Amino acid sequence: MKRDEVLRSFTTPLGAPAYAPTAARFTDREYLNVVYRTDPDALRAVVPEPLEFDEPLVRFEIMKMGEVTSFGPYVESGQAIPVRHGSEHGEYLHAMYLNNFPATAAGRELSAYPKVMGSPALFADHAALVGTLDYGSQRVATATMGYKHHALDLDEAKAQITVPTFMLKLVPGYDAAPRIAELVRTQITDIVVKEAYTGPARLQLFEHALAPLADLPVREVVSASHIVTDLTLGPARPVHDYLAE
């Protein structure tokens, strides 16, 4: 294989790339979002400069991907923290767990999504919408919401999904020192909201050393939403270089 061929390669392994060289389009992407109040000191310990937060809030999410080009269906879960970057309000993606390796690899390599493997699920159970997250064989989160109790304004639902998101891109060098250390920003703009609901919700987080969602404990559930969309993820761009300091 010649040098130019190596440089044209999308990802490793060269003969069987971990993911396809295409932008993924999500069809019938279903969200269960539970926004809750947490401990301010716990947030200060995980929100990186130069991001700041006004209220000690966290959004726990379960996303069921009904159809995704190149990846196929999968489920994802995680925590997002409402923050400010200067005067711009958005969310910091703190942790994401999913059951699809190509989507995990692509999210980490092509962007900066903090993805690791886990076993999330989203399903209707009688009159409740239920979202769960297991790490290995252990349950680390259970969210429940009344199933389609009240319609949510579609524009409000769109605003929830399309806030700017911030992530850390951390790539070590061969000496284990940071080779890339950036804060990056992305935003969903290509979106169609098909359904949106709100209702009563509860959230339980369980202690686990390797999936420490409970380090941001639930003090009070503030709101919940159930949203179905079609969308395409936007590209990421760096907004702060920690090594340049």
- Which residues form the catalytic set? 115
Distance CA(87)–CA(185), nearest Å, equals 14
Strand positions, DSSP E, the chain? 25-37, 57-68, 74-85, 88-98, 115-117, 119-125, 128-135, 138-146, 150-151, 165-172, 178-186, 190-198, 201-205, 220-232, 237-241
Question: Which residue is it, tokens 């969210």?
Answer: 143
CA dist 62 and 131 (Å) reads 6
CA–CA separation, 128 vs 83, rounded Å? 30
